[in-house]
Amino acid sequence: MAKVLIAGGAGFIGSHTCLVLLEAGHQLVVFDNFSTGSPESLRRVQELTGTAGSDRLRVVEGDIRRPLDLSKAFATGWGRFDAVIHFAGLKAVAQSVHEPLLYWDVNVGGSQHLLAAMAEHGCHTLVFSSSATVYGLPERIPIPETAAVLPINPYGHTKAAVERMLADLAASDGRQAPEGGEPRSGGWRIARLRYFNPVGAHSSGRIGEDPQGPPDNLFPYVSQVALGRRPRLQVFGGDWPTPDGTGIRDYIHVMDLAEGHLATLEALWNEPPQLLTLNLGSGRGYSVLEVVRAFERASDRMVPFDLVARRAGDAAHSVADSSEALRRLGWWARRDLSQMCADGWAWQQRHPQGYRSAG
């Protein structure tokens, strides 16, 4: 049993990863400010894993921008954490364009405080939630990890900046002694996981994606149209250089993504200090219209849509080359688009208003 700190563990990917780690027998502290995640998601995770009332999951409310809050997360009395998974950040591209300083403060400043707290408390193993957004407009498909990091929006710039910070940290000797303290042994074990398009929900329908306000992303929007909560989907561009003219993306089931985090931790724990950078995608692209049709089949509902102008900053095609994750972790995405739609719909149907619904 390992002790893992999950920063941002009450969010969509964080809560599903907590479930997988608890099922693997680990002990978790979730550190979250609940600005976008919900405490209810963690109660559901405990219910689903039979750990409610046990001491397997503790929750510390706080903000990664406040060192005093972070020190609370490291002062649980469990001793040193065996790893940190860092999900805590803002992820809306459009919002980042309007509020770049907020994104730099939370995503980069917050990461800096978290890393300093890790070093201070002798934890040098980190899994970082990065994003395919760091690639910007890809030159070739599928996209390998060696592709140029050329983000085109503030959100992507902040993810690339934290990736750079982690590379510098991994290159340091990892034995930096705190002021006047004893040098610590061992270097940094760091993984930068570049997610493609995480969608779907745990098959129980009890935890899932709970966007605040009108969803920016395709999947939750389609889901809310199928539910009747929104009248129509706007398809951003029908004139892309793709077979049906609509954008193609690499959708990955959130449970595959969560399992990828467990596999990453096991690799970091069993290998020497390293900086590991991996694409976590399915390696399979689907167009917007293919997603709409798949969701209609899974939900037995209509998803009316209008073809409208392209969205600024979009690329025609983005699909992962995730062969490195298979080679290094023995991990690959197992669940297909119909499973993503079925599980996403099961969550949405039971939770028309997300965690604010009875469910």
Burial of 343 (0-12, 13-18, 19+ CB in 10 A): buried
Binding track, positions 70-109, relative to ligand WQD; x by CB under 6 A: ---------------------x-x----------------
With 0-12 / 13-18 / 19 or more C-beta atoms within 10 angstroms meaning exposed / middle / buried, residue 172 is: exposed
- Over the window 296 to 335, marking each residue x when it contacts ligand WQD by CB under 6 A and - when it does not, the resulting string is ---------------x--x---x-----------------
Active site residues: 155
Q: Residue 59: CB partners within 8 Å, gap ≥ 6?
A: 10, 29, 30, 32, 39, 42
**What is the smallest separation between the CB atom of 233 and ligand WQD, expressed in angstroms?**
6
Q: Please report whether residue 34 would count as binding ligand WQD according to CB under 6 A.
A: no
The tokens of 44 are what? Answer: 């559901």
Contact characters 118-147, ligand WQD, x per CB under 6 A:
-------------x-x--------------
Binding residues for ligand WQD, rule CB under 6 A, total 20
| Contact by Cβ (8 Å): 221, 199 | no
User: First-to-last CA distance in the chain?
Assistant: 32
CA dist 255 and 251 (Å) reads 12
CB 220 to ligand WQD: min, Å = 8
**Shortest approach of ligand WQD to residue 218 CB, angstroms?**
4
Other beta carbons within 10 angstroms of residue 129's beta carbon come to 26
| 207-226 positions binding ligand WQD, by CB under 6 A | 216-218, 221
Residue 290 near ligand WQD by CB under 6 A: no
List of residues contacting ligand WQD (CB under 6 A) = 91, 93, 131, 133, 195, 197, 216-218, 221, 233-236, 247, 249, 288, 311, 314, 318
